[in-house]
Chain A
Amino acid sequence: MKPLDIGAITLSLAVTLAFTVRLFSASTGTPEVEIQASGTTYLYAMDRDQELDFEGPIGITHVSINNGKVRVVSSPCRDKICVNAGWLNAYPDWTACLPNRLILRVVAGEPEQGTPDAVSF
């Protein structure tokens, strides 16, 4: 076997491995939460506990990331749909506070078995 043969084998294996890793990581990445507020999009890893405040047109929306889950703890809105959504932990979980112009969405992580691609409401 010549040096070029070894190089071809190595290149072939490396490329295949690289794509395999990338494909695998795309479907099972660590959960992150994307929060849009006041025209800015923020991204937080959900493996680190955090308490976050976001200012919107009607006041402060408080978000908690705890033990790999995220929820809206409080928001100065009338209907509290965002608060009532409770803990969210996997894609495609999401909630929004329309009056305070905030959207919170889990953007990675493995969905539970049977999770639908969308919900009509």
Chain B
Amino acid sequence: MYYRSPMSQRLFAISVIAFVAAHAAFAGGSSEPVRKSGIVLGTACTVTVYDRVPARTLDEVFQRLDDIEAEMSISYAGTELDTLNAEAGTGFHSVSQDTFTVIDRALEFSKESSGRFDLTIGPLVNLWGIGTDHARLPSQEEIDAAKALVGYEMVSIKRENHEVSLAIPGMVIDLGGIGKGYAADEAAKIIRAAGAERAIINLGGNVLAMGEKAPGTPWRVGVQHPDRSRGAIVGVIEVTNKTVVTSGIYERYFEAGGKRYHHILDPDTGYPVDNGLASVSVVTDSSMDADALSTILFAEGLEKGMAFAEARDNVEAIFIDREDHIYLSSGLQDNFELTDSEFEVTSLP
């Protein structure tokens, strides 16, 4: 029988402790993140998970994004929303839980913003074609005709049956200003269900930062420079379990007659919103809400938009104007690191 000396017992214990400690260090958060990218929802999407998850989790996330695109896109024919729009003027039609959820929320935001955000903006979006190969400056007659088809008041819903009605033929619901946010929230649900708490979901610049980067360390999210190439930033905020969504004039636009026309359209005038702002970023909990709110705050303009944000619980905002001024809502005053000295953080005039 082998006799283990006190010395060897101690050494054996040390070796076990060293092994367990090294394994804990490896498994306890220092492993490399898993990442998947793809072109979905009309944009480049990347999902990075910093905790261990089953290998299939990222595939499930991208399948979910594909499914949401197939339901809510109007960039191509045959989606559920495209079919609903084609049935405009013919009464109520049933849609999926996903599509109904987003239409319902978009309708609420349309009402709350008195139409600054309008889910029926589709005819104007299609007319201008900004971001497509057929972008052009329409005539005033064309704009007036399209405007006649825009109006959230002409949308009716029946929650019990997930039914939606568009009052007149030619109306077009466009969920482009809210759908990506919903998709990010749904992606987070899948990642959380897989047991992970730390992830960055980036759907074409709509960022959802799940959990915190490390215990006591928040995520650092940059805010895009309005005039530089994508990825160049003006500043950074630190967030834990928040989403950051930006609407800017630089993202999709075309130029005609020496003038730039961007993609955030004013339902009242039928033209791109022209109020001196370059971008608005919204920081909040729900990415769907942030998506819609960034459009609303941009369209409202600096003073009304800031008041709109301040009146809501748990909503913060960063406004950047075209003269390189940055305006922060009250909750971000101590949480914005300016990284570009050409810009100035300032107070409302």
Q: A84-B229, A117-B200, A120-B206 are in contact. Are A98 and B42 (CB under 8 A)?
A: yes
Contacts of A34 in B (CB 8 A): 37
Q: Are A8 and B8 in contact (CB under 8 A)?
A: yes
The answer to the question of A121 belonging to the interface, with a C-beta cut-off of 8 Å to chain B, is yes
Across the interface, do B44 and A121 meet the contact criterion of CB distance under 8 Å?
Answer: no
CA distance A4 to B244 in the complex (A): 57
Would you give the 0/1 interface string for B34-58, flagging 1 where the beta carbon is closer than 8 Å to chain A?
0101110011101000000000000
Q: Mark A56-92, 1 if CB is under 8 A from B, else 0.
A: 0000000000000000000000100100111000000
Residue in A15, A26, A93 whose beta carbon sits within 8 Å of that of B18 in the complex: A15
Chain B positions within 8 Å of A5 at CB level = 5, 7-8, 11
From B14, B30, B221, A119 is in contact (CB under 8 Å) with: B221
Chain A residues within an 8 Å CB radius of B35: 107
Residues of B214-240 contacting chain A, CB below 8 A? 219-224, 229-231, 233, 236
The CA of A19 and the CA of B18, in the complex, are separated in Å by 10
Total number of residue pairs linking A and B with CB closer than 8 Å: 129
Contact of B213 with A by CB under 8 A:
yes
Give the total of B residues in contact with A, Cβ under 8 Å: 53
Interface of A is mostly: mixed
| Set of chain B residues within 8 Å of A101, measured between Cβ atoms | 39
Spot the interface stretch: B20-28, B77-85, B100-108. Answer: B20-28
Check A119 against B25 for contact (C-beta < 8 Å). no
B342 lies within 8 A of chain A by Cβ: no
Neighbour of A105 across the interface among B37, B43, B251, CB < 8 A: B37
Chain A CB count within 10 A is highest, among B202, B205, B245, B246, for B202
Q: Number of contacting residues on A, CB 8 A?
A: 41
Given that A103-B44, A120-B205 are known contacts, is A9 also in contact with B15, CB under 8 Å in the complex? Answer: yes
A18: nearest chain-B partner, CB-CB: B22
Partner of B26, one of A1, A23, A84, A119: A23
Interface residues of A in 1-41 (CB under 8 A from B): 1-2, 4-5, 8-9, 11-13, 15-16, 18-20, 22-23, 26, 34, 36
Chain A: minimal CB distance from B245 (Å):
6
11 contacts between A and B (CB under 8 A): A5-B11, A8-B8, A15-B15, A19-B25, A22-B26, A23-B30, A34-B37, A94-B231, A120-B222, A120-B245, A121-B224
Extra contacts besides A5-B8, A5-B11 (4): CB < 8 Å: A19-B22, A119-B233, A120-B205, A120-B223
